[in-house]
Structure 1
Amino acid sequence: MGRVSQAQAEENRRRVVETASRLFREQGTHVSVADLMKAAGLTHGGFYKQFASKEALVDEATAHAFGELGRLHHDGLARHDGRRDEAQRALIDTYLSVQHRDSAADGCPVAALATDMAREPEDREARRTYTEGARDFAERLATEDQDGIARLCTMLGALVLSRATKGSPLSEEILAAARAALTESG
């Protein structure tokens, strides 16, 4: 087999990072390189041509996931013509929805990667990216009446609990209770 062009190599790397970002959110960072490359439609051997290690990919995929989250927040604010309170309400409704509960691969990296990042050494790039991403998310959620960290904890806890109880009536009750708690005071 011949060598791939630089453009194809860049496309392959992008595909691996995007696939890893989704798989890590859905299944955790313990996903094997072989399974990851298969999901990306590439050979296992090609991985080491693109990345120094799996840890390097975890770093890059985590940054990618938080980049997506930042773009979603920015786009949400733009859709509401800069009206932060309306954008936050729409964010809460979307975040605490059955669709988000059921779509971890495309969902919030704060919720999906929390337990994996807790196991990472404190000096890892992925953990730093995660911490900054969680802080930024909390800042976007702050209102005059409610602390952003408390709102993030409520949303995150509700999402994780609703995923853990999926298939029971309690799952949707958790989502509804958290939505009400976050939107009652405006």
Structure 2
Amino acid sequence: MARLTQEQKKLNHDKILDAAGRGFRTHGVNGIGIADLMKAAEMTHGGFYNHFGSKDDLALEVIRQGFVSSLAALADIREEHPHSARAALDHMFDQYLSVEHRDRPEDGCASAALVTDAGRHGVAAQSEYQHGLEGFFSAITEMVLENARQSDVDMNVDQARERAIALFSQMVGALVISRAVAESSPELADEILQTNTTRLKQA
């Protein structure tokens, strides 16, 4: 039997990670089994352990990679508005609290889709989630500080971080609550997104 090349191993690893990212975001870590994840990745069940020691190990990497992707998207938003931190913040609010983001958790940010899983899967999962949070807090703190400078508002780093934490927490909370009622009350779900987007832009 031919041995897999390192390139093919990497491709297979990434296929499993992608399938798990979508599956975990949609169903939760406990809501989908390894067999179904491997089927989604178009691979055999037995091949899983060539790449991950356990489902918990996979979950940690999904959380880690999810935040890496989300922070890269946030960096892209910032680059789109090089001269206006306010415009970048508003763009972030619009994108994060969009109907599309709410209705497609499989493609969305790990911060909202995996928040409950991180809280329930022990210190290692919480540490990965914390690392991702700190990335968001740091990036948003910089944007808040820059917006203050551009608006001639006196603000220090501690104040900016406090605001960044509050802004991001409101974003995540609004998205999670909107998802919780999206099928039973689409109108309320949309109202939650719209109201919080408006309020965040006024902050």
TM exceeds 0.5? yes
Q: Distance in 1 between matches of 2:83 and 2:108?
A: 23
Measure how far apart 1:34 and its partner are. Answer: 0.5
Q: Distance in 2 between matches of 1:100 and 1:7?
A: 32
Q: Which residue of 2 aligns with 1:11?
A: 11
In the alignment, is residue 155 of structure 1 matched against residue 178 of structure 2? no
Q: Distance in 1 between matches of 2:108 and 2:176?
A: 12
Q: Which residue of 2 aligns with 1:130?
A: 129
Q: Note if contact 1:139-1:149 (Cα within 8 Å) is conserved in structure 2.
A: no
Q: Secondary structure at the match of 2:122?
A: coil
Q: Percent identity?
A: 38
- Select the structure that is richer in helix: 2
Q: Give, as a single letter, the amino acid of the residue that structure 2 aligns with 1:173.
A: E
Measure how far apart 1:82 and its partner are. Answer: 5.5
What is the TM-score when the length of structure 2 is the normalising length? 0.84
Measure how far apart 1:75 and its partner are. Answer: 1.1
Q: How does 1:18-97 map to 2 (within 5 A)?
A: 18-30=18-30, 31-81=32-82, 83-97=84-98
Measure how far apart 1:2 and its partner are. Answer: 4.2
Deviates further, 140-149 or 97-106: 140-149
Q: Which residue of 1 aligns with 2:152?
A: none
Q: Which residue of 2 aligns with 1:141?
A: 140
Q: How does 1:101-140 map to 2 (within 5 A)?
A: 101-122=102-123, 124=124, 126-140=125-139
| Aligned alpha-carbon RMSD (Å) | 1.7
Q: Distance in 1 between matches of 2:135 and 2:83?
A: 17
Q: Distance in 1 between matches of 2:24 and 2:178?
A: 19
Measure how far apart 1:61 and its partner are. Answer: 1.4
Q: Distance in 2 between matches of 1:26 and 1:14?
A: 18
1:8-32 Cα distance to aligned partner (Å, 9 max, x none): 1111001111221222112111121
Q: Secondary structure at the match of 1:41?
A: coil
Measure how far apart 1:3 and its partner are. Answer: 3.5
Q: Secondary structure at the match of 1:45?
A: helix
Measure how far apart 1:74 and its partner are. Answer: 1.1
Q: Distance in 2 between matches of 1:13 and 1:101?
A: 28
Give the total of aligned pairs.
Answer: 183
Q: Distance in 1 between matches of 2:75 and 2:12?
A: 27
Q: Secondary structure at the match of 2:171?
A: helix
Q: Distance in 2 between matches of 1:83 and 1:16?
A: 39
Q: Give, as a single letter, the amino acid of the residue that structure 1 aligns with 2:174.
A: A
Q: Distance in 1 between matches of 2:83 and 2:10?
A: 35
